[in-house]
Amino acid sequence: MASGNAIRGSRVGAGPMGEAERGESAPRTRISFWCANGHETQPSFAGDAQVPDTWDCQRCGFPAGKDRDSPPDPPRTEPYKTHLAYVRERRSDADGEAILAEALAKLRGEI
């Protein structure tokens, strides 16, 4: 006696899949890109697609170029800056002293 499952023993998408059912695949081109660490990435592009000059490396994330001997430079990462570091870029010590003196005078009721 059947359990009522008409597609027993198969899964969704099972069956003969090939060129006849999917159609012909588009022509593809594989291009090699190299990063500064020497990693090679080979993405495939459609035959008529415009290939970019750089591509992100799949292993390290650095930008990769088509020229193996001179890959693009890795991006410069700036260290984390605190709020105080940003304030010191905008204001000199003299400006800070003047602002502090004004704020203290306002608190003391002099202004």
Annotation-wise, does 44 bind a ligand?
no
Annotation-wise, does 57 bind a ligand?
yes
Annotation-wise, does 83 bind a ligand?
no
Name the DSSP letter for residue 50. P
Cα–Cα distance, 60 to 47 (Å, whole number): 27
Binding residue numbers: 35, 39, 57, 60
Binding residue numbers for Zn(2+): 35, 39, 57, 60
